[in-house]
Chains A and B, each alone.
Chain A
Amino acid sequence: EAAVTQSPRSKVAVTGGKVTLSCHQTNNHDYMYWYRQDTGHGLRLIHYSYVADSTEKGDIPDGYKASRPSQENFSLILELASLSQTAVYFCASKGLNTLYFGAGTRLSVL
Chain B
Amino acid sequence: KTQVEQSPQSLVVRQGENCVLQCNYSVTPDNHLRWFKQDTGKGLVSLTVLVDQKDKTSNGRYSATLDKDAKHSTLHITATLLDDTATYICVVGDRGSALGRLHFGAGTQLIVIP
Contact = CB atoms under 8 A, between A and B. Distances in A.
Interface of A: 4, 30-31, 35, 40-45, 50, 59, 90, 92, 94, 96-99, 101-104, 106
Contacts of A50: 98-99
Given A31-B98, A103-B42, A42 B104 contact: yes
Contact of A42 (B2, B34, B42, B46): B2
Interface residues of B, number: 21
A98 B36 CA distance: 12
A101 B44 contact: yes
Contacts, number: 45
Interface in B94-114: 98-99, 101-107
Contact of A99 (B41, B46, B105): B46
A104 B42 contact: yes
B41 A97 contact: no
Given A94-B98, A97-B49, A42 B43 contact: no
Contact of B106 (A4, A42, A96, A104): A42
Given A41-B106, A42-B2, 11 more contacts: A42-B4, A42-B89, A42-B106, A59-B101, A90-B43, A97-B49, A98-B46, A101-B44, A103-B42, A104-B43, A106-B41
A41 B103 CA distance: 11
Nearest to A91: B43
